[in-house]
Amino acid sequence: MKIYRFLTGDDNSAFCHKVTEALSKGWALYGEPTYAYDAANGVMRCGQAVTKEADVEYSSDLRLGQL
Protein backbone atom coordinates (compact mmCIF):
# COMPACT_ATOMS: atom_id res chain seq x y z
CA MET A 1 0.00 0.00 0.00
CA LYS A 2 1.26 3.49 -0.75
CA ILE A 3 1.06 5.78 2.26
CA TYR A 4 1.05 9.58 2.20
CA ARG A 5 2.09 12.27 4.63
CA PHE A 6 2.15 16.06 4.38
CA LEU A 7 4.93 17.58 6.44
CA THR A 8 4.57 21.20 7.53
CA GLY A 9 6.51 23.71 9.57
CA ASP A 10 8.14 27.11 9.68
CA ASP A 11 10.56 27.71 6.80
CA ASN A 12 13.73 27.00 8.79
CA SER A 13 16.36 24.34 9.32
CA ALA A 14 14.06 22.32 11.63
CA PHE A 15 11.67 21.81 8.70
CA CYS A 16 14.55 20.77 6.45
CA HIS A 17 15.63 18.24 9.07
CA LYS A 18 12.05 16.90 9.29
CA VAL A 19 12.00 16.27 5.53
CA THR A 20 15.55 14.85 5.55
CA GLU A 21 14.63 12.45 8.36
CA ALA A 22 11.60 11.23 6.38
CA LEU A 23 13.80 10.67 3.31
CA SER A 24 16.32 8.72 5.40
CA LYS A 25 13.48 6.43 6.52
CA GLY A 26 12.49 5.53 2.97
CA TRP A 27 9.91 8.22 2.22
CA ALA A 28 10.05 9.85 -1.23
CA LEU A 29 9.23 13.42 -2.17
CA TYR A 30 5.83 13.79 -3.83
CA GLY A 31 5.30 16.96 -5.81
CA GLU A 32 6.74 20.39 -5.19
CA PRO A 33 7.10 22.04 -1.78
CA THR A 34 4.57 24.73 -0.89
CA TYR A 35 5.12 28.05 0.85
CA ALA A 36 2.73 30.52 2.42
CA TYR A 37 3.06 33.57 4.62
CA ASP A 38 1.48 33.12 8.06
CA ALA A 39 0.41 36.72 8.74
CA ALA A 40 -0.86 35.92 12.24
CA ASN A 41 2.61 34.80 13.33
CA GLY A 42 4.72 36.80 10.85
CA VAL A 43 6.58 33.79 9.43
CA MET A 44 6.83 31.82 6.22
CA ARG A 45 5.40 28.30 6.49
CA CYS A 46 6.21 25.45 4.16
CA GLY A 47 4.97 21.98 3.39
CA GLN A 48 6.16 18.92 1.51
CA ALA A 49 4.20 15.81 0.61
CA VAL A 50 6.00 12.47 0.91
CA THR A 51 4.98 8.90 0.05
CA LYS A 52 6.22 5.44 0.91
CA GLU A 53 5.33 1.85 0.04
CA ALA A 54 4.46 -0.15 3.16
CA ASP A 55 3.34 -3.72 3.68
CA VAL A 56 0.44 -2.84 5.99
CA GLU A 57 -3.32 -2.85 5.79
CA TYR A 58 -4.89 0.58 5.98
CA SER A 59 -6.43 1.70 9.25
CA SER A 60 -7.20 5.22 10.43
CA ASP A 61 -5.22 4.28 13.56
CA LEU A 62 -1.93 3.97 11.61
CA ARG A 63 0.86 6.16 12.94
CA LEU A 64 2.24 7.12 9.55
CA GLY A 65 5.39 8.77 10.90
CA GLN A 66 6.40 5.48 12.52
CA LEU A 67 6.18 3.41 9.32
Residue 43, phi-psi category: left (phi > 0), alpha (psi -120 to 50), beta (remainder): beta
Q: Give this prediction's pTM.
A: 0.86
Residue 55 φ then ψ, to 5°: -90, 65
Which of 23-27, 52-56, 58-62 holds the top average pLDDT?
23-27
- Express each pLDDT in 7-26 by its tens digit: 999 999 999 999 999 999 99
Q: What percent of the chain has pLDDT over 90?
A: 79
Per-domain boundaries in the chain: 2-57
